[in-house]
Structure 1
Amino acid sequence: MDKQLRNSQELLKKSIESISKLEQEKLIELKKQNMGNKNGAENGDSANTKNAEKTHKDAKAGIINISELKKAAYDLIEADEYVYKKAPNHELTKEEAEEFTKIILGAQKSLNNVLEAFGFEQEKTIINLDSEALYLVSNKKLIKILNEINEEANKAMGITLKTNLNIISTEGVLEPEDMLVINPKMPEKALKGIEKKCTITKENIQKIIDNKKPTAIFVVFKEGDKADELILKRAEALYDAKKLPLEELQIL
C-alpha cells in the first residue's frame, strides 16, 4: 500500500513538474512577444484584482476532501501525457483540445471542491432548468443531480420551497431491439425483461405528457454514449424530444 502511494506521489510530482515547465516556457515566449510593445498604459485593474484575491493566509481550518483531491491528481497525471505526446510544439487539434480541456476542467472542479472546505468558496454558475419540462435520463444518479441543479437555481432566486423536476430514468433504452446494438450477444430471455421495462418506461412518459403537459421533453445526453444516442433517436421520433448535453449542465 505504501509503495503504491509513493508511486502515485511520484507520478503526480512528475506531472506537476512537466506542466510547470511547459507553462514557464510559454511565459518566457509571451514575455519575448510583449517586449517593445509597451504603450504606457497602467494595468490598474489587474493590480486591484490581484490585491482582492485570497491567499493561503485566508485559509480556515477544515477537512481535506480526499476523494476530490485524488480525482484532481489523476486528472493532472492524465493531462501530463499530452506534454509528452504532443512535444515539442504542444499543438492540439480541435478534438484533442476538447479532450484536454475536459480533463483540466475536471481537475479544476475537484480542486475547487477541496478548497471550499478551507473557506475558499467558488462562485457557482447558476443553471436554470425548465421546471415544466420533462427530462429523460439514462440512469437514476442523474435524477438527483438535476434536482440539485434546480434547487440551486431556486435558492438563487429566493425560492425556498423544494420542488422536484419531472424526470424519468430509462435505465437503458426505449426499445428492446436497441439493446442488441449495444450488446449483440444479449440473450433472448434477457431481451424479454428489457421489453417489459421499455413498455413501463414509455407508459410513464406518456402519463406525464397526458397529465402534466410538459413544455418540452429533453434527453440528457452524454456525447459518445451509445445508449444515450439510441434513447435520443427514439425520443426524437416518439416525443419530438430535444438534446440536453451533459456539458451544458457542467457535469464532467
Structure 2
Amino acid sequence: MQTMQATSPGGNLPLVRRLEAVGFRAWPAATVIYDGSWQIRLSGGHPSKRLNCVVPLDPSDHRDLALRLEKARKRFHSYGRPLTLRETPLAPPQLIDHLSQQGWSRFETVKVLTANLAQLELPETLDRLPSHDIGRFIDVSLSLAGEDPGLKPALAEVLTAIKPPTGLFMIENAEGAPLAVALCVQDNDLAGVLGFSVSAGQRRQGLGTEILSSALRWARISGARTAWLQVVTDNEPALALYRKFGFQDAYEYHYWREA
C-alpha cells in the first residue's frame, strides 16, 4: 500500500474526507449539529478548538453565509465559546472570501500527516504496553501540557466517548513523574496518534521515539495500515521526529476567528 498523501495544494478530497471522518471519531465533541454540510462541534466542558468549531465539509455548500454564521455564533455564545471556524480543503472558497471581507483572521495552521505502517521500521516487541488507567493517563496528559487539572472530568468525557479501540501510552520515571504520553486510536485500517507530548526537561533523549514507536507498533499489530497525526506548523521538533518516522504531508487546515 502506498502512503496516503495529497496530490495537489488543494488536497486529495476523498482522502481529506476520510481523515476528517476518523479525526472526528478519534476526538469526539459532546454536541454535533449539522447545518447543511457544515459540522458544528461544541463541548461545554473542554475548550479544545477541535471540539469547539464549525467545520464546512463540502466546497459547494456556500449558500446564506452570513445567516448561517450568525446562527452558529448564537450557538457558540450559548456555550460560552467564541465562534471559531476550521478551514480544511473541503471549505467553500466563497466562505473563506467572506470571512476575509468581514475582518476574520487565521490564527493557527495545522498539518495532517500520514505514514505507511507496513514500511516503518518498528521494534518487534512493544517497549511500552498500552495502559487501561484513564484517570492516570489524564493526569499525565494534563501535567505535561501544563493545563488546568480541573479539566480532568471534561477530558475523561472525551476519552470515554471514543468508540474505536484506543491505546493509552505513558512513560513515567521511578518516582512516578510524567515524562511522555501518547494516545493512539485504531479505526479499521487507520490509526491516529493524538495528545503526543514529552516533558520539556526530557526532550531529545529518545523518549518521544520510544513512545511513538510503541503506539505505532500497537496500531500495526491491531490491523492498521496507515497512521495519521496532526501537528501545528511551528512545532519544528515534533515535525522533525515525525519526518524521521516517514510521515508525509496529507493536507493542512487553518483556524479562523472574528476580529
TM-score, L = length of structure 1? 0.27
* Structure with the larger RCO, 1 or 2 (CA within 8 Å, 6+ apart): 2
From the two aligned structures, give the one with the greater strand fraction. Answer: 2
Structure with the larger helix share: 1
Larger-gyration structure (1/2): 1
